[in-house]
Every structure is written in C-alpha cells, then in structure tokens.
C-alpha cells in the first residue's frame, strides 16, 4: 500500500502562493494522485488529480516529479476562504485500499 | 444534479447498541465508499462497494459491515457500539473504476454514550 505523508499544518498570508507536498514512496505504476479540500463539518471536495508531470485547473496546480514519489499541490494567491484541511489521496494497486494522507491544515492569515 | 445524501445527520446511541447509516450516491455512480473521521483526525477508509459487491475494506473489526442495494444506495452497520466509534461517517460515490473523482456527502455524526 502506498502510504502518504504530509505536513501537519501550514500558515500563509493572504495573496501568497502555497505549496503543500505529499510523500508517497511506495506509489505503484498505475496509481493516481488526488487532492481534496475539507472544511470543518463537511465532506471533502475534489481539487485536482494527476498521474505525472503537471496538471493545472482553475483552482490549483499539481506537480509530480518523474519518480512520482512525491507530489506538490500549489494554490495561487490564497484567500481566507482557502483555510481548510488538504488531503493527498493515492489509489493503490487497482482495486485495493484507498488511502488518505494525514491531511495538512492550512491557515490563511489576513 | 443532486449530490450524495446521507441520513441521518446525527445519531446518538449507547454502548452495545447497533447503528445503521444510509447513503444515496449521485445518479449514475455505482461505487460507494465509507470513511470514518474521528474528531480532529484524518479520514480512515472503511468500505468500498461497487456494482453491489464489497470490493475492499479497511482495517476495521467485523462489527463494521455494510451492503449496497440494486439502486446503488448503501448502508453501513456498526454492531456492538463502543465509545471510540463516535465519529463523523462520510460516504462518497464515484463512477466505477479506479481513479475516478469521489464526491462526498455531508456525513452522519455518530455519538456513542
């Protein structure tokens, strides 16, 4: 199983770019990397998903190096409403267990 | 398009009782996932159903069980409740297949007294 590791928490000022890195040393060839955002007392919400190199959407970018043992979620110009917990998710080995990371609590400061 | 719905919103039980939680996936989704999130902790994978069958389960005791119905809705049953079962139980659905985006419901808050 691909275990994931993220920083427990991060602080950032409004308007700054935030990069959150997730380590997944045992990622398998067919695994996808997905990031979710969760606000208190709500279910997580999909942010972005990728397999290799770089993926960008209207919300974030996801950078995955060639060895795929880590990935970085990049949030451009964060605002107070981006304060949330961010989870890195790796789909392990086809139809095996879905593993969430420990989550990174991002606090955006005015 | 209606999202994932879960019922009840809150559930209070006492130790030793049984709890039943329900989930209705988004129309067209055949996969349903169950997660447990204890207060202040991350999401722990519980169960995955697809096309009516249990595909995998997390590291939870057998008293956590469930099923998926022909209309793809799902039930999570927790028998012999223990205090540490108190948590937010989240259900998610997705299209069948690996790597598809999971859409989460609002959760059921289970409190065991």
- Say what the pLDDT of residue B1 is: 65
Cα pseudo-dihedral B58, B59, B62, B63, rounded to 10: -90
Best mutation target, B37, B42, B94, to test chain A (most A CBs within 10 A): B42
Q: pLDDT tens, A26-44?
A: 888 878 888 999 998 788 8
> What region does A62 belong to: left with phi over 0, alpha with psi -120 to 50, or beta?
beta
Average of per-residue pLDDT values in chain A: 88
Chain B positions in Cβ-Cβ contact with residue A47 (cut-off 8 Å) = none
Q: pLDDT tens, B36-63?
A: 998 877 788 899 999 999 988 888 999 9
Contact residues, chain A to chain B, C-beta under 8 Å? 30, 32, 34, 36, 41-46, 49, 87, 91, 94-103
Which carries the bigger pLDDT value, residue B99 or residue B10?
B10
Which carries the bigger pLDDT value, residue A26 or residue B109?
B109
CA distances from A64 to A21, A41, A54 (A): 10, 30, 6
- Say what the pLDDT of residue A28 is: 80
CA distance A10 to A86: 10
Confidence bin at A16 (pLDDT 50/70/90)? very high
Contact between chains at A98 and B99 (C-beta distance less than 8 A): no
- Say what the pLDDT of residue A95 is: 47
B21 touches chain A (CB under 8 A): no
CA distance A65 to A10: 22
Q: pLDDT tens, A17-27?
A: 999 999 988 88
Q: pLDDT tens, B15-41?
A: 999 999 999 999 999 999 999 998 877
Contact between chains at B42 and A49 (C-beta distance less than 8 A): no
B111 touches chain A (CB under 8 A): no
Contact between chains at B102 and A42 (C-beta distance less than 8 A): no
CA distance B75 to B58: 16
Q: Say which of B42, B88, B101 has its CB closest to residue A100.
A: B42
Q: Say which of B45, B88, B98 has its CB closest to residue A100.
A: B45
- Tokens read off for A85: 């917990």
């Amino acid at each position: 199983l691909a275990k994931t590791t993220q920083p427990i928490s991060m602080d950032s000022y409004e308007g700054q770019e935030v990069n959150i890195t997730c380590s997944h040393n045992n990622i398998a060839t067919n695994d996808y990397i997905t990031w979710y955002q969760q606000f208190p007392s709500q279910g997580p919400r999909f942010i972005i998903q990728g397999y290799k190199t770089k993926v960008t959407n209207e919300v974030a970018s996801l950078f995955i190096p060639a060895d795929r043992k880590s990935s970085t979620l990049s949030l451009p110009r964060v605002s107070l409403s981006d304060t949330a917990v961010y989870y890195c998710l790796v789909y392990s080995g086809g139809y095996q267990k879905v593993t969430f990371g420990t989550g990174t609590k991002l606090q955006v400061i005015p | 398009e209606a999202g994932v719905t879960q019922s009840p919103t809150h559930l209070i039980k006492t130790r030793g009782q049984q709890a039943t939680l329900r989930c209705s996936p988004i129309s067209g989704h055949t996969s349903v996932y169950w997660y447990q999130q204890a207060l202040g902790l991350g999401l722990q994978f519980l169960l995955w159903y697809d096309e009516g069958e249990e595909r995998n389960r997390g590291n939870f005791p057998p008293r956590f069980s469930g099923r998926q119905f022909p209309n793809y809705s799902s039930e999570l049953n927790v028998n012999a409740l223990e205090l540490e079962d108190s948590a937010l139980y989240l259900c998610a659905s997705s299209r069948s297949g690996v790597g598809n985006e999971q859409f989460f419901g609002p959760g059921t808050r289970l409190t065991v007294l």
